[in-house]
Homo-oligomer: A and B are copies of this chain.
Amino acid sequence: MAKRPTIADVARRAGVSKGSVSFALNGRPGLAQSTVDKILAAADELGWRPSNRARSLSVSKAFALGLVITRDPAVLSSDPFFPAFIAGVESVLSTRGQALVLQVVADGSEADGYRRLAQDGRVDGVFLSDLRHDDPRIGLLVELGLPAVTLNRPDGDSPFPAVTLDDRPGTRAVVEHLIELGHTRIAQVAGPPAFVHATARSTAFAETLAAAGLEPVAVETGDFTAAGGIETTRRLLALPEPPTAIVYANDRMAIAGLGAAQAAGLTVPDDLSIAGFDDSELAEYVHPGLTTVRADPFRFGETAAQTLNRVVDGDTDVPDVELPPAELVVRRSTAAPPL
């Protein structure tokens, strides 16, 4: 376990100064090509890689990006979004020698998470996920001077670029699909209205129905968890005139709702049609297969990382990026309503 070589070792071996090694490594002009070659060869022979720690200190950068997620079971426990999103982020970071730093915080104290990342200088920028209406984190990050990219577009002013994926076309497609099947009594289980993406799905739902001259049987507000899916579904099924189709704001609630309907003695899709949102792994494999909307969280992560890196690199006025909208995936959980 010999100590790793330092820049001084390389300099000595190449017969030049530390500064020249630094120049050669960073491809800065002003060095003769022959010298550059000599230095790179020496570095190679010694297997030298510059120390991140030293570099971090002298250039005041962390070479890392941060993601704060809440420990809230609703978001954390089995959300299909984050793992794939993170994989997408990493696919970008690994090519640039950057790392991803995770902060998991207690529900409600996300601010502390960002503050910690900033004060410790652990990261050069952060991802702002699960954007809320009038999200206080935007102001916080401005105050902390921490670059960021928002996932979805905030409603207020924001100095940060946004990477957006329009949930509305997918939701619209689901509703239209149900209407085409002949449904007129359609209900929704929405997500918490505090979230931007939850309300986007909700308004798209309402607007599509309205465009067809229909109105929702009922709209229940869930919390994106399976438990919430059960509870809201039970309420909908207990209505004097229950819906013949339910549109859920995510797959977890939909799969739980499917279970609730079956537990209530209903057959899906004969008695009740059910649609989700996400196309999570299990959606395809439950019985009946879940009609849902397919997003691409991996690509979301990839794009978000690229965008954030442009900001971090000092690019001003990085434009928002719009991802291709999620598309409808029709499976067996939706069919014509009972007669």
Seen from chain A, the residues whose Cβ lies within 8 Å of a Cβ on chain B are 1, 49, 51-54, 56-57, 60, 62, 64, 71, 73, 76-80, 82-84, 86-87, 89-91, 94, 97, 99-105, 116-117, 119-122, 145, 225-227, 229-230, 252, 255-256, 258-263, 280-282, 284-289
Are B83 and A226 in contact, CB atoms less than 8 angstroms apart?
Answer: no
Give which listed residue, B54, B71, B87, B282, contacts A76 with CB less than 8 A.
Answer: B87
**Distance of A189 from chain B, by nearest CB (Å):** 13
Given known A78-B282, A97-B120, A286-B286, contact A103–B83 (CB-CB < 8 A): no
Nearest residue (CB) in B for A258 is: B287
Are B281 and A78 in contact, CB atoms less than 8 angstroms apart?
Answer: yes
Nearest residue (CB) in B for A120 is: B52
Given known A53-B57, A226-B281, A230-B285, contact A64–B101 (CB-CB < 8 A): yes
Q: Considering the chains assembled together, what is the distance between the CA atoms of A83 and B75 in angstroms?
A: 10
**Distance of A255 from chain B, by nearest CB (Å):** 6
Q: Considering the chains assembled together, what is the distance between the CA atoms of A289 and B239 in angstroms?
A: 24
Q: Which residues of B lie under 8 Å from residue A261 when comparing CB positions?
A: 287
Are A77 and B71 in contact, CB atoms less than 8 angstroms apart?
Answer: no
In the complex, 22 of the A-B residue pairs with CB atoms within 8 angstroms, ordered by the A residue number, are A49-B120, A51-B57, A52-B122, A53-B56, A53-B57, A73-B281, A76-B83, A76-B87, A77-B281, A78-B78, A78-B83, A90-B103, A94-B116, A99-B101, A100-B102, A100-B103, A101-B101, A101-B102, A225-B281, A226-B285, A259-B287, A259-B289
Are B83 and A80 in contact, CB atoms less than 8 angstroms apart?
Answer: no
Given known A102-B86, A255-B286, contact A121–B226 (CB-CB < 8 A): no
Are B49 and A227 in contact, CB atoms less than 8 angstroms apart?
Answer: no
Are A255 and B80 in contact, CB atoms less than 8 angstroms apart?
Answer: no
Q: Considering the chains assembled together, what is the distance between the CA atoms of A87 and B229 in angstroms?
A: 24
Are B104 and A87 in contact, CB atoms less than 8 angstroms apart?
Answer: yes
Are A104 and B77 in contact, CB atoms less than 8 angstroms apart?
Answer: no
**Distance of A25 from chain B, by nearest CB (Å):** 15
**Distance of A280 from chain B, by nearest CB (Å):** 6
Are A101 and B100 in contact, CB atoms less than 8 angstroms apart?
Answer: yes
Are A54 and B57 in contact, CB atoms less than 8 angstroms apart?
Answer: yes
Q: Which residues of B lie under 8 Å from residue A145 when comparing CB positions?
A: 1
Q: Which residues of B lie under 8 Å from residue A103 when comparing CB positions?
A: 90, 94, 99-100
Given known A227-B285, A252-B281, A286-B255, contact A49–B119 (CB-CB < 8 A): yes
Are B122 and A282 in contact, CB atoms less than 8 angstroms apart?
Answer: no
Give which listed residue, B73, B104, B117, B258, contacts A90 with CB less than 8 A.
Answer: B104
Give which listed residue, B71, B80, B105, B282, contacts A256 with CB less than 8 A.
Answer: B282
Best-surrounded residue of A57, A120, A260 (most CB of chain B within 10 A):
A120
**Distance of A44 from chain B, by nearest CB (Å):** 14
Q: Which residues of B lie under 8 Å from residue A105 when comparing CB positions?
A: 90, 94
Given known A79-B83, A255-B285, contact A120–B102 (CB-CB < 8 A): no
Q: Considering the chains assembled together, what is the distance between the CA atoms of A102 and B69 in angstroms?
A: 13
**Distance of A246 from chain B, by nearest CB (Å):** 15
**Distance of A9 from chain B, by nearest CB (Å):** 16
